[in-house]
């Protein structure tokens, strides 16, 4: 049972409208897209800044309140189903694209940015963010990182982990950790960003993501073509005259001038002759 003093502290930091206590509100965040039993959280919190997010993490830790981070809840692994009697922290209000660097090919975003929104924003600048989970129209980038999401483009371009350049996240005590860089080469220190990708929020709460971008691929070109089928009963087909919209008369295969090797008489010179020792199967010794 969550204490009233802790509820009041959450309301003081976030505002009452961002702290959800009603059962109908809490039930909305008791399940995700996984086919698993819903679990009712004790409270749902919606911070609006990275600083507020860190304070929520710290308060939950200090009060031994189980914490589950949630984006759009579209995952199929149960990663955002809360612990019984715990708190759900929503990242949907942290939805700003902080930077798109066209020269160095990277973007800095908050975890609540919708995947399709980033893809459209970088495409408008001639750049490309390939990961395309099936729920990209509603899924958040923080959830993509937590689940290492991918889509149909993964076969050619890879999945989310292949585009993570750096992360800023909060550990359980509420301390902020920054890992990775905005450069192509970063080999100093532990690769904590790679460790967090796919961890489903168990190792830290992501507050900022640096993503690699690539140039937008050239659009494929296609030329439409039409074909006219002339029925055998048409005058053109009957006369066999050549010209626009006509075709030669049809000849049965039994009357076509093909030799035994399947080549036309004009090409018989290219047919390799049978050796003198060759015999029919009926003439061969048993």
Domain range annotation of the chain = 4-90, 97-215
Token output for 127: 């750049």
pLDDT for 233 beyond 80: no
What pLDDT was estimated at residue 276?
61
Nearest to 43 by CA among 82, 87, 12, 1: 87
Report d(CA 90, CA 47) in Å as an integer: 7
How confident is the model over 87-98, as a mean pLDDT? Answer: 96
What pLDDT was estimated at residue 152?
94
Under the banding of pLDDT at 50, 70 and 90, the label for residue 65 is very high
Report d(CA 63, CA 3) in Å as an integer: 9
How far is it between the farthest Cα atoms of the chain?
A: 105
pLDDT for 259 beyond 90: no
How confident is the model over 98-107, as a mean pLDDT? Answer: 96
What pLDDT was estimated at residue 251?
62
Among the ranges given (174-188, 193-207, 243-257), the one the predictor scored with the smallest mean pLDDT: 243-257
The CATH code of domain 97-215 reads 3.30.465.10
State how far the alpha carbon of 106 is from the alpha carbons of 165, 184, 215, 238, 280, in Å: 8, 10, 11, 66, 72
Q: Looking at residue 254, what DSSP letter applies?
A: G
Q: Percentage of residues in the chain with pLDDT exceeding 90?
A: 67
Q: Where are the beta strands (DSSP E) in the chain?
A: 19-20, 43-45, 67-70, 87-90, 97-101, 106-109, 127-128, 164-170, 176-180, 205-212, 214-215
Using one digit for the tens of pLDDT, what is the confidence trace for 126-142? 999 999 999 999 999 99
pLDDT for 245 beyond 90: no
pLDDT for 257 beyond 80: no
User: Strand 67-70 and strand 106-109: pairing?
Assistant: unpaired
pLDDT for 91 beyond 80: yes
Token output for 67: 């914490």
Structural contact between residues 113 and 84, judged by C-beta atoms closer than 8 angstroms: no
pLDDT for 56 beyond 70: yes
Among the ranges given (114-123, 180-189, 222-231, 264-273), the one the predictor scored with the smallest mean pLDDT: 264-273
What pLDDT was estimated at residue 29?
95
In this structure, which topology does domain 4-90 adopt according to CATH? 3.30.43
How confident is the model over 88-103, as a mean pLDDT? Answer: 96
What pLDDT was estimated at residue 187?
79
Under the banding of pLDDT at 50, 70 and 90, the label for residue 1 is confident
Give the pTM: 0.75
Q: For all residues of the chain together, what is the average pLDDT?
A: 86
Under the banding of pLDDT at 50, 70 and 90, the label for residue 71 is very high
Q: At 160, is the secondary structure helix, strand, or coil?
A: helix
């Amino acid at each position: 049972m969550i204490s009233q003093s802790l509820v009041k502290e959450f309301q003081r930091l976030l505002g009452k409208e961002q702290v959800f206590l009603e059962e109908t509100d809490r039930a909305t965040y008791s399940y995700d897209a996984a086919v698993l039993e819903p679990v009712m959280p004790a409270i749902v919190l919606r911070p609006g800044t990275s600083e507020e997010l860190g304070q929520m993490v710290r308060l939950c830790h200090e009060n031994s309140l189980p914490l589950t981070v949630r984006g759009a809840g579209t995952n199929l692994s149960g990663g955002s189903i809360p612990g019984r009697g715990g708190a759900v922290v929503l990242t949907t209000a942290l939805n700003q694209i902080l930077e798109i660097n066209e020269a160095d090919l990277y973007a800095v975003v908050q975890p609540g940015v919708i995947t399709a929104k980033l893809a459209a924003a970088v495409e408008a600048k001639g750049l490309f963010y390939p990961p395309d989970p099936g729920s990209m129209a509603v899924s958040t980038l923080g959830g993509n990182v937590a689940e290492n999401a991918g889509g149909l483009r993964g076969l050619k371009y890879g999945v989310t982990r292949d585009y993570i350049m750096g992360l800023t996240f909060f550990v359980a005590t509420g301390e902020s950790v920054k890992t990775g860089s905005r450069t192509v080469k970063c080999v100093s220190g532990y690769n904590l960003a790679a460790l967090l990708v796919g961890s489903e929020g168990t190792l830290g709460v992501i507050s900022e993501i640096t993503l690699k971008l690539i140039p937008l691929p050239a659009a494929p070109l296609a030329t439409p073509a039409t074909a006219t089928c002339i029925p055998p009963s048409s005058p053109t087909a009957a006369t066999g005259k050549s010209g626009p919209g006509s075709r030669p008369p049809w000849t049965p295969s039994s009357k076509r001038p093909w030799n035994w090797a399947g080549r036309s008489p004009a090409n018989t010179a290219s047919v390799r002759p049978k050796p003198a020792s060759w015999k029919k199967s009926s003439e061969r010794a048993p």
